[in-house]
Structure 1
């Protein structure tokens, strides 16, 4: 039996302030909120929390401000079983995202990323904290040079890599030779390739160097492209009320599944079912299934093979 790999997320952590509205405001328009709430977020922290709840040994490399929000975020990560030994504190405000969600579950997000922008992970510490075969996961919240450096180091030292480059702030295609799995949504894929057809975009990103490309298509599922071509993994049907964090639920579950030696088809089914579960609740980390539900969804995904 193969030993499970570990998951190391290198990214950001934030407080999410969510505002529920009937319709997203147009430029210059003021609308009344139906309700508001504060939650824990940040794509890096989100994916680490999901991976930990999915049973993977998970650690987070990230930066927090030296403020009360940073204290709250750190305590929440520890409560969720994420190793925070390499979460550093910087002399700035912790990151904050303002999320506006409409009645259909669609959203817009504005982010303050001072801590993430100033963060540069120590690569020697990163290598000491991981072994060959472990997964290193990144998003698009850190700078392009930092992202490229982490991916290059990971590949040279036989770590496996998953890149989920949202938000797309730079062209990650030159980095894809160091990426085992690239996860993007349809909008991000089009932004990177200038191709609106997901199958064509997936092929282009695979040709650019990514070993496997996953394009999430919302209610349609996920397009999976590798050296054997492209095929669709069907979505799990759900009545969405809030899509915030669904992509992070997918990525965190996927990498946890692969770290636990599940096959890609089972990993995709499990990740899609967790993402579907998350959109039926409001919030970011508050919407993610708990550990018991994660196990149930895993078992159902394995039984479906």
Structure 2
């Protein structure tokens, strides 16, 4: 079978809580960076979850993982998608695989009997709609190059990768195999840098990977500045052009900037009453890649991405119900 998009990423189940400024101060004292992603041990994550539940907070449970959120969006916008990931033989693992199937996404994951649980992400949304994530990778840390399927990549138009997976022990080797296979079969590669923590920690690994093959890079302003070691838009673009012919830098409510072979791109933001930014970047990437697969250029695709992202931030959680994706596509046509 041929796919528009195949993806490799961490399989995570999100537990999302609303938190107040006082709790933000508490987690910052524990070294958790507000607005970022922090890797955390399972016991420490459980302790935070228990503390929130004891205070009367009720979590929203949903399947997450950055690449998965993007692929779900792409699938519901009309692209055929495949997900490479691993889950444990537990409640979260079953929940995750069922979610992929319900959203029309094929996968190569089985429930693995392991002492490691399925991955879980604690998402805390503060009053300013900023999301702070504490992630326990669980069995995702066992993802290896053996889980990278050559036939799937060979028969795909795009390979979409999330930088988060580099945090797993064999993430780099897995990515290197995937990048080389994409190059071998002339499959376009799109990479999300994912988080400033990933850029800080794996800068040289990222450079090596995108030197193999890369057609499009997604990042936000902080990640772009950190990777290019500059706050200058001109210098940032100059740096990334050494690695990729296309770049999109999201700017939150201000929209996005970037470039392609036709020149610079500047898409203004769309006014929205944001209550939760979790999943906004994932929605943006999924919408863009789906649009590119439908023969739109990068500017048109980025416009659709900004439109879609403006809708997700008005809801709680990283996903919308399936019918909303259809409405987004229909409404954008007349926007």
**CA deviation string 1:69-112 (max 9, x = no partner):** 1001111111111112x124332211000111111101211101
Q: Which residue of 2 aligns with 1:46?
A: 69
Q: Which one is further off, 288-297 or 55-64? A: 288-297
CA distance in structure 1 between the aligned counterparts of 2:78 and 2:244, rounded to whole angstroms: 26
1:121 Cα deviation from its structure 2 partner: 4.6
Q: Which residue of 1 aligns with 2:229?
A: 194
The DSSP-based 3-state class of the residue aligned with 1:18 is: strand
Q: Does residue 170 of structure 1 match 2:194?
A: no
Q: Does residue 149 of structure 1 match 2:177?
A: yes
Q: 1:10 to 1:300 in 2, by over 3 A?
A: farther
1:66 Cα deviation from its structure 2 partner: 1.4
Query: How many residues in Structure 1 have an aligned counterpart in Structure 2?
Result: 295
Tell whether the 8 Å contact from 1:278 to 1:288 is kept in structure 2 after alignment. Answer: no
Q: Aligned match of 2:104 in 81, 105, 110?
A: 81
Q: Which residue of 2 aligns with 1:279?
A: 313
Q: Which residue of 2 aligns with 1:8?
A: 6
Q: 1:175 to 1:72 in 2, by over 3 A?
A: same
Give the helix-richer structure, 1 or 2: 2
**CA deviation string 1:171-212 (max 9, x = no partner):** 1122223110000111111221221234422321122x1111
Q: Which one is further off, 269-278 or 283-292? A: 283-292
Q: Does residue 269 of structure 1 match 2:303?
A: yes
Structure 1 segments unaligned to the other structure (5+ residues): none
Q: Which one is further off, 131-140 or 95-104? A: 131-140
Counterparts of 1:246-265 in structure 2, within 5 Å, are 246-265=280-299
Q: Does residue 292 of structure 1 match 2:326?
A: yes
CA distance in structure 2 between the aligned counterparts of 1:137 and 1:198, rounded to whole angstroms: 25
1:274 Cα deviation from its structure 2 partner: 0.7
Q: Which residue of 2 aligns with 1:236?
A: 270
RMSD across aligned positions (CA): 2.3
Structure 2 segments unaligned to the other structure (5+ residues): 31-50, 166-170
1:297 Cα deviation from its structure 2 partner: 3.8
Tell whether the 8 Å contact from 2:5 to 2:81 is kept in structure 1 after alignment. Answer: yes
What is the TM-score with the length of structure 1 in the denominator?
Answer: 0.88
CA distance in structure 2 between the aligned counterparts of 1:25 and 1:156, rounded to whole angstroms: 47
What is the TM-score with the length of structure 2 in the denominator?
Answer: 0.81
Tell whether the 8 Å contact from 1:199 to 1:230 is kept in structure 2 after alignment. Answer: no
CA distance in structure 1 between the aligned counterparts of 2:245 and 2:293, rounded to whole angstroms: 17
Q: 1:148 to 1:28 in 2, by over 3 A?
A: same
Q: 1:173 to 1:133 in 2, by over 3 A?
A: same
